[in-house]
Amino acid sequence: MTETAISVNDLRYRWRKGHADVLDIPSWKVAKGEHIFIRGASGSGKSTLLALLAGVLLPQQGDIQILDKYVNRLSASQRDHFRADHIGFVFQLFNLIPYLSVIENVILPCRFSRFRKSKVNACGRSLEQEAIRLLNHLDMAGDKLLHRPVTELSVGQQQRVATARALIGSPEIVIADEPTSALDSEMREAFIELLFQECRESGSTLLFVSHDRQLESLFRHHIPLEELNRLEQETA
Amino acid sequence: MAILSLAIKSLLNRRFTASLVLISIALSVALLLGVERLRVESRNSFANTISGTDLIVGARSGSINLLLYSVFRIGDATNNISWKSYRHFANNKMVKWSIPISLGDSHRGYRVMGTSEDYFRYYRYSKHRQLEFLKGKPFEQVYQAVLGHEVAEKLGYSVGQEIIIAHGAGKTSFSMHKDKPFTVSGILAATGTPLDRTVHVSLQGIEAIHKGWIQGRKVPGLNISAERASRSDLTPNSITAFMLGLKSRIATFGLQREINEYPGEPLQAILPGITLQQLWDMMAVAENALLMVTGLVVLIGLVGMLTVMLAGLNERRREMAILRSVGARPMHILLLITGESLLLCLLGIAAGLVLLYTGLFITQPYIETLWGLYLSIGLPTEREWGLMGLIGLTGLVVGLVPGYRAYRYSLADGMSIRI
Ligand SMILES: Nc1ncnc2c1ncn2[C@@H]1O[C@H](COP(=O)(O)OP(=O)(O)OP(=O)(O)O)[C@@H](O)[C@H]1O
Ligand SMILES: [Mg+2]
């Protein structure tokens, strides 16, 4: 039996009162451990959907259930806690904190989530050891790389550090919002392979968002956002 | 705490601009505390100069003027008072002791004060401290002088040395009492008051060197030898002022009124403590203005910090979005940005303190020679801590401005990265 990681019901979201809805999703479920590719044109509302799932935005209508929590029913601080504990993020570009070292960037989520920190410690590793282990997997643990300011890393290297950050403390859900758009096509595939491998290892559910059709073939499950979103179907 | 270490690292990352801001805050804080230090120290030094004197009497003029020239050797008397009036009140039954003062001459820029031996017996400074002799003893003969500590030190004089007194005050007086040199009979221990810069001689000495002078000018052709002068009647006709110590302080106001209404000549009696207070009241306006200006300088320093923090905020929206994505709450963002300002401000205050003490150590000897003001270098006073606390608090309030802005940004932006 597969458990659900994400379940969305009757969701409606618009940015401002009086504006048209951006999202209108009657029903959507994602099973635990799945790797899902969500495709959609630019401006179709992909990032908005992710922000709703992460509890940064609140829907005007409907329910969003992540794991066993209705995130839209939590208070703002509970949502922030929930996000820190259960969701890891990789963004498009330059998503490292410029004044922190590589390792400090990787362990950043553990500074805001005791839960993720304790998960690391439960494996008998310190945060630094875990960060180096993850970076090692991502081919990023060379001594020279570790001690370089993050602003001097190449884009691909930065994305790998960001991936290690998203994966530390094995969050149940990993969200990647166009993480490959700055990479060339060869690096893109290698990066996605890495991401799959790491998510499989930690048993995380992966939501991967992009407008790039070429990547679709790499995923077993893929959904065009238009299929989820009733509005897109109407206007299409 | 996570946010504090983030704030420190973020500041270190921008150490160039941060240190510029820090330096400007440090300088302004040092300026403010320095002005406050000078104010308090100069008040203390004034208050410490005279103690235990109940009344000071001089010719009628401003009371502050009388206090300044009789005690602090600042400015000059407009008029003298007669010896007769002095004796009249010195013999009053309420009076325990009296010290006559005669000013007007100088020695190489240091004022010469004619007085009596009672000066060394009864004069008190700094909470009832008596004058002490470092070397020698009080003057006993007409042509003997007692030097203040600084006079002896700066001019390298010792007991037994002969000195020439010049007519009038000022360093470049041309008319000298060359024919009547004085011998140093004693040197006083340091007091940290204008006394250290005074040459003390007897009233008779003052009288003797002015024999053959009329109205402050030497009569041409009339030369009276030192020997002859000292043998003539040396009771002065007039003196500049006198100090009185009373048997009972209750009598002070009564005697003051009596002196002020003295029919013989227009006299004025002042209570040193009250007149000093009047002086403070007068100075308070200037002091407060100065304090306000330096306070504004601190504020300008803090506004500089505000500008830098606000200018950097927009390019940090990406950083805030990333922090939000790893679980930072909008409140954390506010704490981070405000904390950076507060940290800068507190570091600025600390650096300002370091600057202040360095400045004090370096300028202390110069201030002492220039103004005769001895700066004691102690720990910050309660008021100074208060000022620093106020600056820190202002820094916090100023820091809340970019902090709140960042808070609003992070609420509006969420995790979406905008540049
Ligand atoms: N902060 C905001 N305020 C108002 N409207 C917004 C805001 N952010 C996005 N929108 C609007 O919501 C819609 C969906 O935006 P979203 O960023 O989710 O698109 P997207 O699918 O992620 O696009 P892209 O592929 O370019 O990243 C767009 O029409 C956009 O104009
Ligand atoms: Mg997007």
Per-residue pLDDT averaged across B38-49, rounded?
A: 85
Residue-wise pLDDT tens digits, A109-151: 999 999 999 998 988 889 999 999 888 888 777 777 788 888 8
Give residue ranges with CB within 6 A of ligand 1. Answer: A 15, 22, 40, 42-48, 211
Q: Does B412 touch chain A (CB under 8 A)?
A: no
- pLDDT confidence tier of residue A187, bands split at 50, 70 and 90: confident
Kind of pairing, strands B162-167 and A173-177? unpaired
| Residue B95 near residue B101, CB atoms below 8 Å | no
Q: Does A171 touch chain B (CB under 8 A)?
A: no
Assign B15 to helix, strand or coil.
Answer: helix
**Which residues on chain B are in Cβ contact (under 8 Å) with A57?**
414
CB-based contacts of A181, cutoff 8 Å, min separation 6: A92, A93, A210, A212
Give the lowest-confidence range in A95-99, B296-300, B372-376.
B372-376
For tokens 């939501």, name the residue. A207
Structure tokens, B66? 């009388």
The atom number, within ligand 1, closest to the CA of A50 reads 18
Shortest CA gap A95–chain B (Å): 6
Distance of alpha carbon B68 from alpha carbon B70, whole angstroms: 6
Residue-wise pLDDT tens digits, B267-322: 999 999 899 999 889 888 888 899 999 999 999 999 999 999 999 888 888 888 88
Distance of alpha carbon B169 from alpha carbon B108, whole angstroms: 9
Residue-wise pLDDT tens digits, A13-50: 988 888 888 889 888 999 998 999 998 888 888 888 99
Kind of pairing, strands A205-210 and B238-239? unpaired
Distance of alpha carbon B78 from alpha carbon A55, whole angstroms: 85
Distance of alpha carbon B49 from alpha carbon B70, whole angstroms: 11
User: What is the residue extent of each domain of chain B?
Assistant: 2-46+283-415, 55-270
Provide the pLDDT for residue B216.
64
Q: Does A92 touch chain B (CB under 8 A)?
A: yes
Structure tokens, B118? 């009672």
ipTM reported for the complex, 2 dp: 0.87
Closest residue of chain B to A79, computed from CA coordinates? B327
The atom number, within ligand 1, closest to the CA of A51 reads 18
Of B176, B189, B66, B187, nearest to B125 by C-alpha is B189
Provide the pLDDT for residue A1.
47
Q: Which strand (E) or helix (H) includes residue A5? A: strand A4-13
Give me ligand 1 centre to Cα A185, in Å. Answer: 25
pLDDT(B352) > 60: yes
User: What is the residue extent of each domain of chain A?
Assistant: 33-56+75-235
**Which residues on chain B are in Cβ contact (under 8 Å) with A85?**
327
Using the beta-carbon criterion (under 8 Å), do A98 and B13 form an inter-chain contact? yes
**Which residues on chain A are in Cβ contact (under 8 Å) with B319?**
97-98
Give me ligand 1 centre to Cα A61, in Å. Answer: 19
| Residue B86 near residue B173, CB atoms below 8 Å | no
Give me ligand 2 centre to Cα A191, in Å. Answer: 19
Assign A207 to helix, strand or coil.
Answer: strand
Per-residue pLDDT averaged across A169-195, rounded?
A: 85
Per-residue pLDDT averaged across B243-251, rounded?
A: 91
Instruction: Just give the CATH number of A33-56+75-235.
Output: 3.40.50.300
Best of A48, A177, A213 for a ligand 1 pocket test (most atoms within 8 Å of beta carbon): A48
Using the beta-carbon criterion (under 8 Å), do B327 and A113 form an inter-chain contact? yes
Query: For all residues of chain B together, what is the average pLDDT?
Result: 88
- A209 vs B128: which has the higher pLDDT: A209
**Which residues on chain A are in Cβ contact (under 8 Å) with B325?**
54, 83, 89, 91, 95
pLDDT(B419) > 60: no
Provide the pLDDT for residue A37.
92
Distance of alpha carbon B371 from alpha carbon A180, whole angstroms: 73
Which of A75, A95, A158 has the highest number of chain B CBs within 10 A, making it the mutation to test binding with B? A95
Closest-CA residue, ligand 1 atom 1, reads: B413
A135 pairs with which residues across the strands? Answer: none
Q: Does A107 touch chain B (CB under 8 A)?
A: no
Query: For all residues of chain A together, what is the average pLDDT?
Result: 86
**Please, what sign has the CA dihedral across residues B19, B21, B24, B28?**
negative
Which of B340, B415, B416, B419 has the highest number of chain A CBs within 10 A, making it the mutation to test binding with A? B415
| Residue B195 near residue B125, CB atoms below 8 Å | yes
Selecting from B13, B14, B326 the residue whose C-beta is nearest the C-beta of A108 gives B326
pLDDT(A196) > 60: yes
**Which residues on chain A are in Cβ contact (under 8 Å) with B12?**
99
pTM value is: 0.79
Provide the pLDDT for residue A186.
80
Residue B199 main-chain phi, psi, to 5 deg: -105, 120
